[in-house]
A = this chain, B = another copy of it.
Amino acid sequence: MAAITLIEAVNKAIAYEMEADKEVVVFGEDVGINGGVFRATDGLQEKFGEERVIDTPLAEAMIAGLAIGMAAQGMKPIAEIQFMGFIFPAADHIISHCARMRNRTRGRLTLPMVIRAPYGGGIHAPENHSESTEAIFAHIPGLKVVMPSNPSRAYGLMLAAIRDPDPVIFLEPKRVYRIEKHEIEDNGEEYPLGMCFVDREGTDITLVSWGAMLHETKQAAEKLAAEGISAEVIDVATVSPLDIDTILESVEKTGRICIVQEAPKSGAIGSEIAAEIAEKGIMNLLAPIGRVSGYDTVIPYYRLEKQYMPKIEHIIEEVKRIVEYR
């Protein structure tokens, strides 16, 4: 059992399922000999051949469209979009087709496909390489949007995503691709989609996050604990469809909540979580719902990137405001 990073976990999960299921194929830009620009598919072409790990021409609509056609034939494509900022040419296929094929054919044609993309900022990348636009796809019924936060979850959720009978948008937190290692047994065990993970139990406030921001959130929780504030930490993991029940239960207990997200604040996943609580759990609230978030502006080029990203101290500050609210 080796300790591996999040990106290695992605790689291992894909390899596991390619071994187990001949219908699984990987394609995208530079996924072959180059192993992907982040090396998520490193070694896969060597292992499974050029027929199953395919470098495509440079066109994202095409990548999504191909996946739809192949999935409709019962294959299980894993398509890579090189960066989330480049997913938009594929938006029409994802929104108008992926999300709808089962529904419109009454289950005759289904799309067991995965679209992978690294998302988020914080790695000093060039323009258009740091987007966190999960809210766009989370708003589309028929899709599942998964954002793992650590190596174990990346492994288990990726396996579930590949095996899922419906299309999954799998957004990988590239900022934490290599930040921590987990001991993972490569046994093909999946984690369920559509469920939050409670990463830390607490009584004073509920902290909700997903993907890369879990790291800041957990660290904030630790520091808060040192100051006597007990924070429950929830990893949403599947941002759509949302497992709101777990969050509502936690809020019932803590009475306070702070949502931590990297995306621009307005109309993001945090808005939906807050709205659900305001609709179904408001009687349990002892304070306003807090959101620590990216700003409603374009994520800046890398010199100002740090100023944009939510930080541990911002979470702590907001939590204190909420906890002290009377």
Q: Cα distance A103–B127 when bound, in Å?
A: 12
Does A201 have its Cβ within 8 Å of any Cβ on chain B? no
Q: How large is the interface on A (under 10, 10 to 19, 20 to 34, 35 or more residues)?
A: 35 or more
When the two chains form their complex, are residues B279 and A275 in contact, meaning their CB atoms are under 8 A apart?
no
Does A268 have its Cβ within 8 Å of any Cβ on chain B? yes
Chain B residues near A296 (CB-CB < 8 A):
141, 241
Q: A103-B298, A288-B283 given as contacts; is B91 within 8 A of A268 (CB)? A: no
Does A280 have its Cβ within 8 Å of any Cβ on chain B? yes
Does A136 have its Cβ within 8 Å of any Cβ on chain B? yes
Does A33 have its Cβ within 8 Å of any Cβ on chain B? no
When the two chains form their complex, are residues A139 and B141 in contact, meaning their CB atoms are under 8 A apart?
no
Which residue in B92, B268, B274 is a CB contact (below 8 Å) of A274?
B274
Chain B residues near A61 (CB-CB < 8 A):
89
When the two chains form their complex, are residues B266 and A289 in contact, meaning their CB atoms are under 8 A apart?
no
Per-residue B-contact encoding for A86-106, CB less than 8 Å = 1, 0 else? 001101100110011001100
Q: Cα distance A156–B266 when bound, in Å?
A: 26
When the two chains form their complex, are residues B282 and A275 in contact, meaning their CB atoms are under 8 A apart?
no
Does A277 have its Cβ within 8 Å of any Cβ on chain B? yes
Does A264 have its Cβ within 8 Å of any Cβ on chain B? yes
Per-residue B-contact encoding for A110-132, CB less than 8 Å = 1, 0 else? 00000000000000000110000
Count of identical protomers in the assembly:
2
When the two chains form their complex, are residues A99 and B274 in contact, meaning their CB atoms are under 8 A apart?
no
Which residue in B85, B89, B267 is a CB contact (below 8 Å) of A267?
B267
Chain B residues near A133 (CB-CB < 8 A):
95, 139-140
Does A135 have its Cβ within 8 Å of any Cβ on chain B? yes
Does A291 have its Cβ within 8 Å of any Cβ on chain B? yes
Chain B residues near A164 (CB-CB < 8 A):
none
When the two chains form their complex, are residues B279 and A96 in contact, meaning their CB atoms are under 8 A apart?
no
Q: Cα distance A256–B103 when bound, in Å?
A: 36
Which residue in B103, B264, B273 is a CB contact (below 8 Å) of A139?
B264
Q: How far is the CB of A246 from chain B (nearest CB, A)?
A: 16
Does A188 have its Cβ within 8 Å of any Cβ on chain B? no
Does A240 have its Cβ within 8 Å of any Cβ on chain B? yes
Q: Cα distance A296–B275 when bound, in Å?
A: 15
Does A255 have its Cβ within 8 Å of any Cβ on chain B? no
When the two chains form their complex, are residues B275 and A142 in contact, meaning their CB atoms are under 8 A apart?
no
Considering the complex, which residues of chain A in the window 279-317 have a beta carbon less than 8 Å from any beta carbon of chain B?
279-280, 282-283, 285, 287-291, 295-298
Which residue in B128, B266, B274 is a CB contact (below 8 Å) of A242?
B266
Report which A residues bind B (CB closer than 8 A): 61, 85, 88-89, 91-92, 95-96, 99-100, 103-104, 127-128, 133, 135-136, 138-142, 240-242, 263-264, 266-275, 277-280, 282-283, 285, 287-291, 295-298
Q: List 7 A-B contacts (CB under 8 A).
A: A89-B92, A95-B133, A136-B139, A141-B298, A241-B296, A267-B269, A275-B278
Closest 8 pairs (CB-CB, A-B): A274-B275, A88-B92, A139-B267, A271-B275, A278-B278, A91-B91, A278-B289, A271-B271
